[in-house]
Amino acid sequence: AFRQSTSFFARFISDDTRNAIQGAIESAPVVLFMKGTPDFPQCGFSRTTIQALGHQGVDPNKFAAFNVLEDQELRDGVKEFSQWPTIPQLYVKGEFIGGCDIVVEMSRSGELADLLEKENLLATEEAE
């Protein structure tokens, strides 16, 4: 069904791209579309977001990052898909959370930790 809230641009994103993005979002409980990689972020906002997630203790086994710089269609597509104009973009359990500013604010307020804990997405300390 066509939703009225869908922007004018949404129909320009191909079904293939939409399906690929949906698949990426479903590939892990915590998904970040970013510029660069977690080890080598290629923009300050992506670096800040990765640091915030690391600081929160996200379980690496439940995390996936996608480098939008490797694929122009992905880079444009994720913006249309989420109706959010900037990269990085964070998804938790398939739900769009937001970009760098929102992630940082949620990290500061404790909201991000609460969400990750509630969804059982934090790395657990191995029992000795």
Decide: 45 and 86 in contact? Cβ < 8 Å. yes
Please report whether residue 93 resides in a domain: yes
pLDDT reported for residue 7: 45
For the segment 8-43, what is each residue's pLDDT rounded down to a tens digit? 444 578 889 999 999 999 999 999 999 999 999 999
Please report whether residue 80 resides in a domain: yes
First vs last Cα of the chain: how many Å apart?
52
Instruction: Say how many CA atoms lie within 13 Å of 45 toward its Cβ.
Output: 15
For the segment 35-87, what is each residue's pLDDT rounded down to a tens digit? 999 999 999 999 999 999 999 999 999 999 999 999 999 999 999 999 999 99
* Residue ranges at the known binding site for [2Fe-2S] cluster: 43
Q: Has residue 116 got a pLDDT over 60?
A: yes
CATH code: domain of residue 62: 3.40.30.10
* Residue ranges at the known binding site: 43
- Of residues 10 and 125, more confidence is placed in 125
Q: Which of 90, 91, 110, 109 is nearest to 100 (CA)?
A: 90
pLDDT reported for residue 126: 58
115 strand-pairing partners = none
Please report whether residue 24 resides in a domain: yes
Place of tokens 């959010």: 84
* Domain ranges, residue 25: 16-119
Looking at the whole model, is its pTM more than 0.95?
A: no
Place of tokens 């997630």: 53
